[in-house]
């Protein structure tokens, strides 16, 4: 803008703020710090922050703010130009144990042992695609930082490390090409999920039967893990305090929620067909949100012969943040029952869930995400939030802004009739075939 | 600032050193492995805007990004200016849209009417 500025940040985000300024080209930005947190404090408590010292420097906070705007610039402050950034040599040579240690210490791993990406194994992995080793696959950003780019060879290194077989590589490349990282900088500890559709599920022997979401098949386990390793390595995500701020973290980040849809046992069209692909296409679809909850916690027992899964699902949604959508993972027994109830399409069930999962405006406004994300949209006039914020507190509104925020896939071994539901938003579907 | 530091975290940069090989003719077999890191973009340095000689008689925009508590903090700063530097005109604005979205209209307004900005990110 060409106007002097003084950013104020709470102390908890000191490293993040300083690194962000440096990576964005202003390494000497005059950032001032307040104690942490600011939220939940009374005006009197915050006044004490303002009248007190900057907790990082110990100097009076407001003197620092005024100085930030008025003290003349140094020569370094005025510097322009371009700084090249290195991430180390293209290869390392050492004994296997030393290399495991090196990769661990350099933050290349998920802190579990890896398959070392030797040149031979990386070359073998790249035989799983017709793409050239130096072809650029995409760009991935760690939160708000500028995105990094990467080649087929760089993607292959993470795929090897995760334990993928070369025949899995087109799926890994498809995920990489999306630019979606499975580690996100938010303090909210996001979780990520992928849905695999098409004949490749059987060709690679994905598990979509008993224990579909568990550690019971190599492609489910390793492709999910590869996504997280790529997010750390290709996008530089997952560095606590820098590119990762999730307060509690999320155990699902180890290998993400990998769902191969049980297409043959589903009474409905597969997810990728809903998204405009042909049934014979191989597609990976990506989701992000906060996690997955089991259907057993919902009101309405599956032991009841009159069990109504639509009501169960709606009940599961009641604790979900509307900032993200919902992804129902229905066992085929659940899906069959729902079809018997008259839901002969996914769309019919989604429409019912959208209209019947509701909340009062008062409850809605009390939710953290509403203030942080929806209220600013309402102020700008964006719908439906602008209308919702004008309604009385006892008015009843949908839990999700749009019916399209709800998605359904079918997976599971039919040993019992349980659904699970993720507070997860659909992001993108990517052709796997393009990366073969 | 070291380019390595800019590329990665401080901790990682400090640790990003090759471990001396325990090599000898009878030592363990050595392997050459691929660095899995992607390629960061070069950093375009941005010269900082010239500073003001004084804030007296100037207009300072207080910009609330929308995080919880930012507004409370900025209103206390507004009051501080009233008590301590009454010659400064203070304008409070909440940035439009959620915190992660840009607000070019506000930047345009500040450029036209303001002399300095204090932006607060609560949490």
Question: Which of the residues B8, B10, B18, B36 would you substitute to probe the A interface, choosing the one with the greatest number of A C-beta atoms within 10 Å?
Answer: B36
Confidence of residue B1 (pLDDT cuts 50, 70, 90): very low
Q: Which residues of A touch B122 (CB under 8 A)?
A: 10, 37-39
Q: Which residue of B has its CA nearest to A75?
A: B47
pLDDT of B60-112, one tens digit each?
999 999 888 999 999 999 999 999 999 999 999 999 888 888 999 999 999 99
For B16-84, give the DSSP string. --PPPP---TTSPPEEEEE----BPPPEE--PPPPPPS-STT-EEEEEE-S-TTHHHHHHHHHHHHHHH
- Of residues B121 and B2, the one with the higher pLDDT is B121
The answer to whether residue B41 sits within a structural domain is: no
Tell me what pLDDT residue B4 has: 39
Q: Structurally, how many domains does chain A consist of?
A: 2
In tens, the pLDDT along A297-324 reads 877 655 566 678 898 899 999 889 999 9
Bridge partner list, A197: A283
Peptide bond into A350 cis (omega under 30): no
Nearest-CA distance A231 → chain B (Å):
10
Q: Are residues A162 and A202 in the same domain?
A: yes
Q: Which residue in A417, A162, A133, A147 sits closest to A300, CA to CA?
A: A417
Q: Is residue A63 part of a domain?
A: yes
The complex's ipTM? 0.90
Mean pLDDT value of segment A67-89: 95
Q: Which residues of B are less than 8 Å from A122 in CB distance?
A: 34
- Of the residues B20, B31, B58, the best mutation for testing chain A's interface (the one with the most A CB atoms within 10 Å of its CB) is B31
How much is the pLDDT for B24? 52
With respect to residue A270, please indicate whether it lies within any of the assigned structural domains. Answer: yes
Chain B partners within 8 Å of A143 (Cβ)? none
Q: pLDDT digit string (tens) for A140-179?
A: 998 778 899 999 999 999 999 999 999 999 999 999 999 9
Print the domain residue range for B109: 59-120
CA distance A314 to B58: 55
- B residues 50..109 contacting A (CB < 8 A): 50-55, 60, 66-70, 72-73, 75-77, 79-80, 84-85, 94-100, 107
Query: What is the rounded distance in angstroms from the CA atom of residue A71 to the CA atom of residue A66?
Result: 8
**Within a domain: residue A394?**
no
Query: In this structure, are A114 and A53 located in the same domain?
Result: no
Helix (H, G, I), strand (E, B) or coil at A435: helix
The answer to the question of residue B113 being in a domain is yes
Q: Does residue B13 lie within any of the structural domains?
A: no
Among residues A22, A50, A78, the one where a domain terminates is A78
Percent of chain A with pLDDT strictly greater than 90: 88
Strands (DSSP E) contained in A265-389 are 283-294, 326-330, 358-360
In a domain? residue A170: yes
Residue B10's pLDDT is what?
Answer: 42
The span from the first CA to the last CA of chain B, in angstroms, equals 28
DSSP H or E run through A396: strand A396-398
Is A1 part of a structural domain of the chain?
no
Q: What does the alpha-carbon distance between residue B63 and residue A219 come to, in Å, rounded to a whole number?
A: 48
Residue A142, pLDDT score? 83
- Closest by alpha carbon to A202, among A148, A279, A108? A279
Tell me, yes or no, whether B110 lies in a domain. yes
Do residue A107 and residue B15 have CB atoms under 8 angstroms apart? yes
Is the pLDDT reported for residue A279 higher than 90?
yes
Residue A314, SS3 per DSSP: helix
- CA–CA dist A151, A173 (Å, integer): 10
pLDDT of res. A274: 98
Count of Cβ atoms closer than 10 Å to residue A32 Cβ:
23
With H, G, I as helix, E, B as strand and everything else as coil, classify residue A303.
coil
**The predicted structure's pLDDT at residue B2:** 41
Interface of B with A in 16-55 (CB under 8 A): 16, 18-19, 21-23, 27-55
A412-430 confidence digits (pLDDT tens): 999 999 899 999 999 999 9
> What is the tally of structural domains in chain B?
1
A300 in a domain, yes or no? yes
Q: Are residues A113 and A27 in the same domain?
A: no
**pLDDT for res B99:** 85
Residues A42 and A103 in one domain: no
Question: For residue A160, what are the CA distances in angstroms to A177, A254, B52?
Answer: 17, 16, 55
For residue A371, the model assigns a pLDDT of 87
Task: Tell me the per-residue pLDDT of B11-32, one tens digit each, with 9 for 90 and over.
Answer: 444 445 545 444 456 689 999 9
Q: What is the pLDDT of residue B5?
A: 42
CA distance A238 to A110: 9
Same domain, A184 and A266: yes
Best residue in A10, A143, A374 for a mutation probing chain B (most B CBs within 10 Å):
A10
**pLDDT value of position A302:** 55
Bridge-partner residues for A396, per DSSP? A360
| A72 shares its domain with A100 | no
Q: For residue A376, list chain B residues with Cβ-Cβ distance below 8 A.
A: 66, 94-99
pLDDT in tens, A342-355: 999 999 999 999 99
Nearest CB to A22: which of B1, B60, B114? B1
**Residue A369 banded pLDDT, cuts 50, 70, 90:** confident
Percent of chain A whose pLDDT exceeds 70: 98
Alpha-carbon distances of A293 from A271, A324, A339, B67, B112, rounded to whole Å: 20, 14, 23, 28, 51
Does the structure show a pLDDT above 60 at B6? Answer: no
Domain-embedded: residue B7: no
The string of DSSP letters for A79-90 reads --SEE------S
Task: Give residue A135's domain range.
Answer: 96-357+399-435
And the tokens for B116? 């300095």
Contacts of A367 (CB under 8 A, 6+ apart): A321, A322
Contact A410, A332 (CB under 8 A): yes
Query: Quick one: pLDDT at residue A304?
Result: 61
Q: Read off the pLDDT of residues B45-60 as tens digits, 9 standing for 90 and up.
A: 999 999 999 999 999 9
pLDDT attached to residue A301:
54
Q: Is A3 on the interface with B (CB under 8 A)?
A: yes
* Spatial distance between the Cα atoms of A54 and A348, rounded to a whole number of angstroms: 57
Question: What is the per-residue pLDDT for A300?
Answer: 65
The predicted structure's pLDDT at residue A144: 77
Residues A420 and A277 in one domain: yes
Same domain, A32 and A140: no
């Amino acid at each position: 803008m060409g106007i002097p500025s003084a950013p104020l940040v709470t102390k908890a985000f000191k490293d993040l703020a300083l690194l962000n300024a440096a990576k964005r080209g202003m390494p000497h930005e005059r950032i001032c710090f307040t104690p942490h947190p600011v939220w939940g404090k009374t005006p009197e408590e915050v006044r004490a922050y303002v009248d007190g010292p900057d907790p990082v420097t110990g100097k009076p906070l407001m003197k620092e703010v005024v100085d930030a705007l008025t003290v003349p610039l140094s020569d370094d402050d005025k510097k322009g130009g371009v700084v090249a950034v290195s991430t180390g040599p293209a290869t390392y040579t050492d004994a296997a144990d030393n290399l495991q240690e090196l990769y661990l210490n350099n933050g290349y791993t998920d802190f579990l042992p890896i398959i070392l990406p030797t040149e031979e194994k990386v070359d073998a992995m790249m035989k799983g695609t017709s793409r050239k080793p130096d072809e650029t696959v995409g760009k991935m950003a760690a939160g708000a930082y500028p995105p990094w780019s990467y080649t087929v060879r760089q993607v292959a290194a993470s795929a090897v490390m995760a334990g993928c077989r070369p025949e899995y590589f087109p799926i890994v490349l498809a995920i990489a090409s999306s630019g979606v990282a499975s580690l996100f900088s938010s303090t909210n500890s996001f979780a990520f999920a992928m849905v695999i559709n098409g004949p490749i599920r059987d060709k690679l022997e994905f598990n979509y039967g008993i224990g579909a979401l568990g550690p019971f098949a190599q492609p489910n386990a390793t492709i999910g893990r590869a996504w997280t390793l790529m997010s750390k390595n290709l996008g530089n995500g997952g560095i606590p305090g820098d590119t990762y701020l999730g307060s509690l973290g999320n155990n699902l980040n180890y290998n993400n929620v990998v769902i191969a849809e049980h297409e043959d046992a589903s009474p409905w069209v597969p997810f990728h067909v809903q998204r405009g692909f042909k049934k014979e296409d191989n597609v990976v679809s990506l989701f992000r949100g906060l996690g997955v909850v089991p259907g057993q916690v919902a009101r309405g027992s599956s032991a009841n012969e009159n069990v109504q899964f639509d009501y169960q699902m709606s009940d599961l949604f009641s604790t979900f943040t509307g900032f993200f959508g919902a992804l129902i993972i229905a066992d085929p027994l659940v899906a069959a029952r729902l079809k018997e109830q008259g839901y002969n399409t996914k769309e019919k069930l989604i429409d019912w869930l959208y209209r019947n999962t509701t909340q009062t405006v008062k409850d809605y406004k009390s939710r953290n995400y509403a203030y942080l994300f929806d209220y600013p949209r309402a102020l700008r006039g964006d719908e439906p939030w602008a209308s919702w914020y004008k309604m009385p507190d006892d008015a009843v509104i949908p839990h999700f802004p749009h019916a399209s925020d709800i998605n359904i896939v079918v997976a599971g071994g039919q040993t019992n009739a349980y659904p699970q539901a993720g507070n997860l938003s659909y992001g993108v579907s990517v052709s796997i075939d393009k990366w073969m | 600032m070291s380019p390595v530091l800019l590329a990665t975290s401080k901790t990682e940069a400090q640790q990003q050193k090759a471990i001396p090989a325990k090599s000898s003719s009878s030592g363990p077999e050595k392997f050459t492995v691929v660095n899995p890191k992607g390629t960061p973009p070069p950093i375009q340095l941005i010269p900082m805007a010239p500073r003001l000689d004084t804030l007296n008689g100037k207009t300072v925009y207080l910009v609330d990004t929308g995080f919880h508590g930012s507004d409370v903090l900025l209103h206390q700063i507004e009051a501080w200016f009233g008590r301590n530097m009454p010659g400064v005109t203070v304008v409070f604005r909440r940035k439009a849209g959620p915190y992660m979205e840009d607000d070019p209209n506000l930047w345009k307004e500040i450029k036209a009417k303001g002399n300095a900005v204090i932006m607060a990110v609560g949490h």
